C-alpha cells in the first residue's frame, strides 16, 4: 500500500512536469509578442525591447521555463496582460466559487445517478427503469449550457423562485444555496446520467452473484441485502466513474460559470483566451489540470482501499 | 465475403460455397433491429439532407437582417420558427446551422481519426515507440474535457476552423488508446505471425491485415465522437470562441438568444433542441453500432 502511494506520487510529479512543460510551450509558441501586448499600441520599439529584456523574454526557452516553474512553486504565476493583477491572486479569489460549484454538482450527480441506477437495477424493465434509461440518454445529449439557459428561463424568469445567476453568498447560507441549485443541476446532469448507467449495469451484475443468494438464504432483510451487501460491491466500478466525472465537471465549470455569470476560474479562463491574456490562460489551465490529476490519484488510492483484490503491480 | 466456385480445369465445379453476406450488410441489418438506433439514423439523415440542400430548404437568407420583423414568435406568418432580434428567419438559420455543425464535426473527427489511428497503430505494433507515444497520450489525458481544446484555441486564436483543429487534436489521445488496445490483441494472432514468416513488410501487415481488423472499434469511436465534436463546437461557439457573427451556428445562436430570454425564449430554445437531437442521434447510433458490430452479441437477449 505504502509502496503504491510512493510510486504513484513519483508518477504524479513526472506528470505535473509534463503538464507544466506542455502549457508553457503552448503559450510560448502562440503568436503575438508578449512585450508588445504589455507595452500597448502606442509604445515605441525601444519601449518594447526594454520590456522584453526586463521580463527575460530574450533568454533561451529552457531558462524561461525553469524560471516560470520556480515562480509557480513560489506561488508566482506572473501578471495578467489585461489587468496587471498577479495571476495567482486573480485565480485564488475565484477558485472557491469553482470548487463550490464542482462539489455541489458532483453531489447532485452522485445522488441522482446512484439512486436512479440502483432502482433501475432492482426493478429491471419496470417503467421506473425505462424512464431512468431515457433520462440517462437525454442527460448525455443535452448541451449543458442550454439546459442551464432553459432552467433559468423556467425557475428564474417565469416562476421567479431562484436567482438568474451569480454566486456571491457563501454556500452554507440560504442565498448561497439558492444560487447554487440551478448551476449544480446544470453541470451535474450529464455526470448523473453516466453514473446512473454504470450503477445500473454494475448492480445487475452483483445482484446475480452467489454471495447475494447466500445473504438472502440466511434470511437477511431484502433492504439489508441490497443497500449493504450488494451496494458495497456494486460501487467499485462506480467510484471510478465518479472520479472521472469529477475531472469532467472541473472542465464543465468553464461553460456553466459562463451561463450563470459565476465569477470562477473557468470564466476567467474564457475571458483570458478571448483577450489573449497568456499568463492568465497558463495559470488557470495549469491549476485545473493539476487538480484533475490529483483527483485521479486519490480515486486510484480509494479504489485499492475499497477493493483489496485490486493491485497495481 | 464472396467465395466463388472452386473449379476443375474442365470447368465442373467441385465445391460451391453459399454466397456469404458482406460484413457491412450484416451489421446494417443488426443495426436496423435496434429501434433507438433507427430513430438516430433518421435524424442523422435529415441533418445530412438539410446540410446538403440548405439553399433549397431554407426559406430566407440566414444572415439577412430585417429589423421590421424582429423577434417574431414561433408560427408567425412566413416564419414558422419565428425570427431573431435582427429579424433573421430562425428556420433558415437552423438549416444552415446543420451544415456548419456537420462540416465541423466531419472535419474534426476525420483529422482526429487520422492522427489517432496512426499513433495507435505505431504504439501497438512497435514496442519501442509504445512507451513514448503512450506517455504523450497520458499527458494529453491530464486536461479534462474541453480544456485541451480550449488550450489549443488559446494558441491558434478563436474561429470555427481553429475549433475544428482543436477538437481533432483533442480526439487523438482517446482514439490512439483504443486502436493500440486492438492492435495489441491482434498482433500475436497466428495469421499475423504467418504473414511475418512469409516475409511481408511491416507496413503491409499493419495496413492490410491489422488495420482492417481494428475497424469495428474505430467506427464506433468515430460515431460517438461526432456527438462530442458537434456538442463541443456548439459549446465553444456559445463561449464566443468558435463561430463569429453572423454565422448561423447553433451554439452561437443560443448565446445571442440569452439576452432576449424575457421577450423571445424561442431564440434559445429552438437551437438547443436542434443540438440535442443531433447529439442524441450520434450517441444512440454509436451505441447501436457497438452492439451490431459485436459478433458475440445475442440479439434476442
* Residues A83 and A90: beta-carbon distance below 8 Å: yes
* Residues A196 and A136: beta-carbon distance below 8 Å: yes
The pLDDT tens digits of the residues spanning B175-203 come to: 999 999 899 888 888 888 898 889 888 88
Across A49-65, average pLDDT: 82
> A140: nearest CA in chain B?
B280
> CA-based Rg of chain B, rounded to a whole angstrom?
24
Kindly state the percentage of chain B with pLDDT values over 70: 91
Res A180 pLDDT > 80: yes
* Residues A243 and A296: beta-carbon distance below 8 Å: yes
Residue among A91, A56, A66 at smallest CA distance from A280:
A91
Q: Name the phi and psi angles at B14, rounded to 5.
A: -105, -25
- The chain-wide mean pLDDT, for chain A, equals 84
The predicted pLDDT at position B299 comes to: 44
| B261/A153 touch (CB, cutoff 8 Å), yes or no | yes
Q: With contacts defined as CB-CB under 8 Å, which chain A residues touch B154?
A: 26-27, 30, 272-273, 276, 278, 281, 285
Whole-number Å distance between alpha carbons of B134 and B128:
11
Whole-number Å distance between alpha carbons of B266 and B272:
10
3-state secondary structure (DSSP) of residue A10: helix
Confidence of residue B4 (pLDDT cuts 50, 70, 90): very low
Chain centroid to Cα A239, Å, comes to 15
Cβ-count burial of A277 within 10 angstroms (0-12 exposed, 13-18 middle, 19+ buried)? buried
Query: Is B43 contained in some domain?
Result: no
Query: Looking at A100-104, B62-66, B135-139, B296-300, which range is the least confident one?
Result: B296-300
Across A53-60, average pLDDT: 79
Across A203-224, average pLDDT: 86
If you ran DSSP here, which 8-state letter would residue A31 be given? S
Query: Is B223 contained in some domain?
Result: yes
Please count the structural domains in chain B: 1
β-partners of residue A32 are none
Q: Which residues contact B152 (CB under 8 A, 6 or more apart)?
A: A26, B162, B165, B166, B169, B170
The predicted pLDDT at position B3 comes to: 45
Query: A31 versus B166: which is more confidently predicted?
Result: B166
The pLDDT tens digits of the residues spanning B277-287 come to: 999 999 989 88
Whole-number Å distance between alpha carbons of A139 and A121:
18
Q: What CA–CA distances, in Å, run from B52 to B30, B88, B231?
A: 28, 21, 20
The predicted pLDDT at position A183 comes to: 92
Whole-number Å distance between alpha carbons of B285 and B226:
11
3-state secondary structure (DSSP) of residue B198: coil
Q: Which residues contact B99 (CB under 8 A, 6 or more apart)?
A: B50, B51, B54
Q: Name the phi and psi angles at B15, rounded to 5.
A: -140, 115
* Residues A104 and A171: beta-carbon distance below 8 Å: yes
| A274/B158 touch (CB, cutoff 8 Å), yes or no | yes
Find the distance separating the first CA and the last CA of chain B, reported in whole Å.
27
The predicted pLDDT at position B14 comes to: 58
Q: With contacts defined as CB-CB under 8 Å, which chain A residues touch B138?
A: 15
Res A19 pLDDT > 70: yes
Query: Is B24 contained in some domain?
Result: no
Query: Is B21 contained in some domain?
Result: no
Whole-number Å distance between alpha carbons of B175 and B225:
9
Best to test chain B binding among A20, A98, A145 (most B CBs inside 10 Å): A145
Confidence of residue B275 (pLDDT cuts 50, 70, 90): very high
Query: Is B180 contained in some domain?
Result: yes
Cis ω for the linkage preceding B246 (within 30 of 0): yes
- The chain-wide mean pLDDT, for chain B, equals 85
CB pairs under 8 A between A and B: 133
Give the three cell numbers for residue B286. Answer: 454509436
Confidence of residue A311 (pLDDT cuts 50, 70, 90): low
| B138/A15 touch (CB, cutoff 8 Å), yes or no | yes
The predicted pLDDT at position A220 comes to: 85
Instruction: Give the CATH number, domain containing residue B72.
Output: 1.10.3720.10
Res A230 pLDDT > 90: no
* Residues A132 and A116: beta-carbon distance below 8 Å: yes
* Residues A172 and B301: beta-carbon distance below 8 Å: no
| A274/B240 touch (CB, cutoff 8 Å), yes or no | yes
pTM: 0.85
Res B297 pLDDT > 60: no
Q: Which residues contact A13 (CB under 8 A, 6 or more apart)?
A: none
Type and span of the H or E element at A73: helix A61-73
| B261/A142 touch (CB, cutoff 8 Å), yes or no | no
Longest pairwise C-alpha distance within chain B: 84
The predicted pLDDT at position B12 comes to: 57
The predicted pLDDT at position B161 comes to: 92
Res B9 pLDDT > 60: no
Please report the domains of chain A, with CATH numbers, ordered by start residue.
Answer: 2-87 (no CATH), 92-306 (1.10.3720.10)
Res B267 pLDDT > 80: yes
Residue B67's domain comprises: 56-300
β-partners of residue B6 are B15
Q: Which residues contact B175 (CB under 8 A, 6 or more apart)?
A: B112, B113, B115, B116, B117, B119, B120, B218, B221, B225
Kindly state the percentage of chain A with pLDDT values over 70: 97
Across B147-169, average pLDDT: 89
Q: Which residues contact B22 (CB under 8 A, 6 or more apart)?
A: B1, B2
Best to test chain A binding among B239, B243, B244, B262 (most A CBs inside 10 Å): B239
State the ipTM, two decimals.
0.82
Query: Is B19 contained in some domain?
Result: no
Matching residue, cell 500500500: A1
Q: With contacts defined as CB-CB under 8 Å, which chain B residues touch A293?
A: 142
Across A18-35, average pLDDT: 84
Query: Is B39 contained in some domain?
Result: no
If you ran DSSP here, which 8-state letter would residue A81 be given? T
Cβ-count burial of B42 within 10 angstroms (0-12 exposed, 13-18 middle, 19+ buried)? exposed
Q: Is the dihedral of CA B113, B115, B116, B118 positive or negative?
A: positive
Query: Is B70 contained in some domain?
Result: yes
Matching residue, cell 460491491: A233
How many separate helices (H) and strands (E) can be counted in chain A?
13, 0
Res B66 pLDDT > 90: no
Query: B50 versus A3: which is more confidently predicted?
Result: B50
Q: With contacts defined as CB-CB under 8 Å, which chain A residues touch B258?
A: 149, 259
The pLDDT tens digits of the residues spanning B206-239 come to: 888 889 888 888 999 999 999 999 999 999 999 8
The pLDDT tens digits of the residues spanning A262-307 come to: 888 988 988 888 888 888 888 988 888 888 888 888 887 877 777 7
Type and span of the H or E element at B6: strand B6-7
Query: Looking at A298-302, B45-49, B109-113, B223-227, which range is the least confident one?
Result: A298-302
Query: Looking at A17-21, A117-121, B236-240, B291-295, which range is the least confident one?
Result: B291-295
Amino acid at each position: 500500500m505504502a509502496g503504491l502511494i510512493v510510486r504513484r506520487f513519483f508518477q504524479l510529479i513526472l506528470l505535473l512536469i509534463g503538464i507544466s512543460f506542455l502549457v508553457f510551450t503552448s503559450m510560448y509558441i502562440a503568436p503575438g509578442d508578449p512585450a508588445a501586448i504589455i507595452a500597448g499600441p502606442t509604445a515605441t520599439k525601444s519601449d518594447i525591447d526594454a520590456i522584453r529584456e526586463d521580463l527575460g523574454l530574450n533568454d533561451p526557452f529552457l531558462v524561461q521555463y525553469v524560471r516560470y516553474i520556480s515562480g509557480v512553486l513560489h506561488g508566482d504565476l506572473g501578471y495578467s496582460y489585461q489587468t496587471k493583477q498577479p495571476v495567482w491572486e486573480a485565480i485564488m479569489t475565484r477558485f472557491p466559487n469553482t470548487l463550490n460549484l464542482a462539489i455541489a454538482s458532483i453531489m447532485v450527480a452522485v445522488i441522482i445517478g446512484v439512486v436512479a441506477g440502483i432502482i433501475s437495477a432492482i426493478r429491471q424493465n419496470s417503467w421506473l427503469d425505462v424512464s431512468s434509461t431515457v433520462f440517462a440518454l437525454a442527460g448525455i445529449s443535452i448541451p449543458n449550457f442550454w439546459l442551464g439557459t432553459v432552467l433559468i428561463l423556467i425557475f428564474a424568469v417565469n416562476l421567479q423562485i431562484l436567482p438568474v445567476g451569480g454566486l456571491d453568498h457563501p454556500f452554507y447560507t440560504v442565498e448561497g444555496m439558492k444560487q447554487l441549485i440551478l448551476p449544480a443541476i446544470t453541470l451535474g446532469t450529464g455526470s448523473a446520467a453516466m453514473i446512473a448507467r454504470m450503477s445500473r449495469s454494475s448492480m445487475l451484475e452483483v445482484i446475480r452473484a452467489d454471495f447475494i443468494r447466500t445473504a438472502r438464504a440466511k434470511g437477511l432483510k431484502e433492504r439489508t441485502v441490497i443497500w449493504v451487501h450488494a451496494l458495497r460491491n456494486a460501487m467499485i466500478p462506480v467510484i471510478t466513474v465518479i472520479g472521472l466525472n469529477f475531472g469532467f465537471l472541473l472542465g464543465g465549470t468553464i461553460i456553466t460559470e459562463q451561463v450563470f455569470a459565476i465569477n470562477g476560474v473557468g470564466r476567467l479562463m474564457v475571458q483570458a483566451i478571448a483577450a489573449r491574456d497568456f499568463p492568465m490562460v497558463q495559470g488557470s489551465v495549469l491549476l485545473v489540470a493539476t487538480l484533475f490529476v490529483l483527483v485521479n490519484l486519490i480515486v486510484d488510492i480509494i479504489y485499492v482501499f475499497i477493493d483489496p483484490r485490486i493491485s497495481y503491480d | 465475403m464472396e467465395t466463388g466456385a472452386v473449379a476443375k480445369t474442365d470447368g465442373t465445379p467441385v465445391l460451391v460455397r453459399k454466397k456469404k453476406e458482406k460484413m457491412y450488410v450484416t451489421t446494417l441489418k443488426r443495426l436496423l433491429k435496434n429501434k433507438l438506433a433507427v430513430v438516430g439514423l433518421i435524424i442523422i439523415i435529415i441533418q445530412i439532407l438539410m446540410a446538403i440542400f440548405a439553399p433549397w430548404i431554407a426559406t430566407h437568407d440566414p444572415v439577412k437582417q430585417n429589423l421590421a420583423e424582429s423577434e417574431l414568435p414561433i408560427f408567425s406568418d412566413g416564419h414558422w420558427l419565428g425570427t431573431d432580434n435582427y429579424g433573421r428567419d430562425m428556420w433558415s438559420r437552423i438549416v444552415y446551422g446543420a451544415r456548419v455543425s456537420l462540416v465541423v464535426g466531419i472535419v474534426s473527427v476525420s483529422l482526429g481519426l487520422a492522427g489517432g489511428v496512426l499513433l495507435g497503430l505505431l504504439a501497438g505494433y512497435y514496442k519501442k515507440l509504445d512507451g513514448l507515444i503512450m506517455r504523450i497520450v497520458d499527458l494529453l489525458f491530464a486536461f479534462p474535457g474541453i480544456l485541451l481544446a480550449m488550450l489549443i484555441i488559446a494558441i491558434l486564436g478563436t474561429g470555427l476552423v481553429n475549433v475544428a483543429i482543436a477538437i481533432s487534436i483533442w480526439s487523438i489521445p482517446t482514439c490512439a488508446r483504443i486502436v493500440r488496445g486492438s492492435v495489441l490483441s491482434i498482433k500475436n494472432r497466428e495469421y499475423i505471425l504467418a504473414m511475418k514468416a512469409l516475409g511481408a513488410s511491416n507496413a503491409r501487415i499493419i495496413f492490410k491485415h491489422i488495420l482492417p481488423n481494428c475497424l469495428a472499434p474505430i467506427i464506433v469511436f468515430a460515431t460517438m465522437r461526432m456527438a462530442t465534436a458537434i456538442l463541443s463546437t456548439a459549446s465553444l461557439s456559445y463561449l464566443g470562441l468558435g463561430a463569429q457573427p453572423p454565422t448561423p451556428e447553433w451554439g452561437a445562436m443560443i448565446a445571442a438568444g440569452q439576452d432576449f430570454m424575457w421577450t423571445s425564449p424561442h431564440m434559445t430554445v429552438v437551437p438547443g433542441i436542434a443540438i440535442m437531437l443531433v447529439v442524441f442521434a450520434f450517441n444512440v447510433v454509436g451505441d447501436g453500432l457497438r452492439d451490431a458490430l459485436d459478433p458475440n452479441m445475442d440479439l434476442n437477449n
